Amino acid sequence: MAEKKLMKGNEALAEGAIRAGCRFFAGYPITPQNEIPEYMSWRLPQVGGAFVQAESEVSAINMVYGAGATGVRCMTSSSSPGMSLKQEGISYAAGADLPIFIGNVMRGGPGLGNIAGAQGDYWQATRGGGHGDYRCFVMAPNCVTELGNFPHKCFEVAFKYRLPSMVLADGILGQMMEPVEFKHPEIDPKTLTEPAWALGKCEGRDKRIVKSYDLKEGGVEIMVNERVQRYKAIEQSEVLYEEQMIEDADIVLVAYGISSRVCVAAMKQAREKGLKVGLLRPITLWPFPKARLIELSKRVKNFLVVEMSLGQMVEDVALAINGRANVHLHAKPGASVITADEVCKTMDKILKKEAKEYAAVK
């Protein structure tokens, strides 16, 4: 086991990407993710990579599109308002089947919002903030060690299925320091085989084209349908989640990222009072652990979704459960911090049948 190192979440994400073979980064500064480009700016040259501070977020995502088209492991990162600017480029990358990696360290929104940690970009990340029918592989870490290790999985999935991948973190995770342990062996990109679609020197081979359009009649339909087969395979094989104390639970908390840690504390408090509370933490937000929720809803009566937004992931939970159980919501928008006490109060209300169920179910 490697020695644990105290690192900021943002730094761990950057280091994790490099260890996963990332050799190109383009970005534009925005709080609370500035340590990512800062780290990349000195660390990438050490491993023979390239760092570009672009003139804007739009420029950065398109640089990454270009790098991605050559088959190199590449990354951009930003925070909520900057991510909005990148959406066109992400849609194009999805349309061109490019395995780029994106980090979003969420802050308060909408608009310029504030710089504190929030979870208001769930819809943007999982629904495609850009136009057209597409998906991104989205992972939600809840600690600095996961921030350091998830880029490995993101690149692996992105290259296997050819789609953009994303780590969806928040300002708290990005700014906090914790001991981090890098669990994967470092990848030397020189040892990776060049993808069969990658652009570059074309001497002695057929020409290749990376594009997100097809103007022939029915052409785009064929492209999208082929892509959907890969999406289905991801939904089959790449779902990740974590469960705690779920076996005898009467109430299951559903939370991702930093909120899930508050839920662990709430669960322990409630268990001490004799309440049977469990936790389901989606680790991949897309693909969503729908099948597991369906299974659980056959015996668990109440689900409480806890998120630092007005209620976004709750819709995925409600869709999965589809009326078989009650779906409640503890929502905290505006980049305010959720406390374990608050979550416990909401659980008390559910048991006393005072809490409102999520409107989409009823």
Partner 1 sequence: MYQGIRISGFGGQGVISAGVLLAQAGMMEGKEVSFFPAYGAEMRGGTANCSVVVASDQVSTPIVTAPDTAIVLNEPSLAKFEPMVKPGGLLIVNTSLVNSKPTRKDIKILNVPCNEIASELGNPKIMNMVAMGAFAAATGAITVDAIAKALPKVYKKLKPEVIELNVKALKRGAEFKIS
Least Å from the CB of residue 169 to partner 1? 13
Q: Which residue shows structure tokens 């009566």? A: 301
Least Å from the CB of residue 2 to partner 1? 14
Least Å from the CB of residue 266 to partner 1? 8
Site residues for partner 1 per CB under 8 A = 4, 6, 31-32, 115, 143, 172, 175-179, 258, 261-262, 264-265, 337, 339-340
Report which DSSP code applies to 318: H
Cβ-based nearer residue to partner 1, 62 or 142: 142
Distance (Å, whole) CA 223 – CA 24: 28
For residue 8, how many other CB atoms are within 10 A of its CB?
20
Measuring CA to CA, how many Å separate 20 from each of 12, 72, 88, 182?
A: 12, 12, 26, 10
Least Å from the CB of residue 128 to partner 1? 30
Nearest to 75 by CA among 105, 40, 122: 40
Using CA of residue 52, residue 56, residue 61, residue 62, what is the dihedral sign? Answer: negative
Cβ-based nearer residue to partner 1, 143 or 350: 143
Rounded-to-10 torsion of CA 141, 106, 63, 41: -80
Cβ-based nearer residue to partner 1, 175 or 326: 175
Least Å from the CB of residue 178 to partner 1? 5
Whether the Cβ atoms of residue 15 and residue 43 lie closer than 8 Å to each other: yes
Cβ-based nearer residue to partner 1, 177 or 359: 177
Least Å from the CB of residue 177 to partner 1? 4
Least Å from the CB of residue 339 to partner 1? 7
Distance (Å, whole) CA 361 – CA 323: 6
Cβ-based nearer residue to partner 1, 197 or 241: 241
Cβ-based nearer residue to partner 1, 174 or 289: 174
Using CA of residue 285, residue 57, residue 15, residue 6, what is the dihedral sign? Answer: negative
Nearest to 76 by CA among 204, 166, 177, 208: 166
Whether the Cβ atoms of residue 31 and residue 114 lie closer than 8 Å to each other: no
Cβ-based nearer residue to partner 1, 74 or 172: 172
